[in-house]
Amino acid sequence: GRHANPDAKIGYDVRNRHVYLQLRNHGGAACRVVVDNAYSHAPARSYTLEPGERVEDHWALSSSHGWYDLTITATTLRGSDDKVVRRFAGHVETGRPSQSDPGPAKRPA
């Protein structure tokens, strides 16, 4: 069957205390990508990526004092039942004093 080949790259906007993800599907089938931030009570964000499609999104980290824990789950659509899970977690350092890890607002799915 046809397979998706999702990829996720993380980047940082230190000045604004944001983290951003670039999601891309290198495969031959569409995929659904769900991104959940354990440091936020907001619902997970969902994207459908066709073959070759790319999307970028960002998360403000001011309420978590620069901490993030993003779980990315990608599932192939209309093809095989492949599932890929990646996780990015950490703290955006600004060079200024910061706060200790406040702990996640919710547990990752």
What is the pLDDT confidence band of residue 1, given thresholds at 50, 70 and 90?
A: low
Give, for 70, the enclosing helix (H) or strand (E): strand 67-76
Contact 6, 84 (CB under 8 A): yes
Q: What is the mean pLDDT of the chain?
A: 90
Is residue 79 pLDDT above 70, yes or no? no
For 23, residues 6+ apart whose C-beta sits below 8 A from its C-beta are 6, 7, 8, 33, 35, 47, 49, 54, 55, 56, 57, 72
CATH classification code of 6-91: 2.60.40.10
The domains of the chain are located at: 6-91
Which pTM does this prediction carry?
Answer: 0.88
How far, in Å, CA of 10 to CA of 68, rounded? 11
Is residue 39 pLDDT above 80, yes or no? yes
What does the block give as tokens for 98?
């910061």
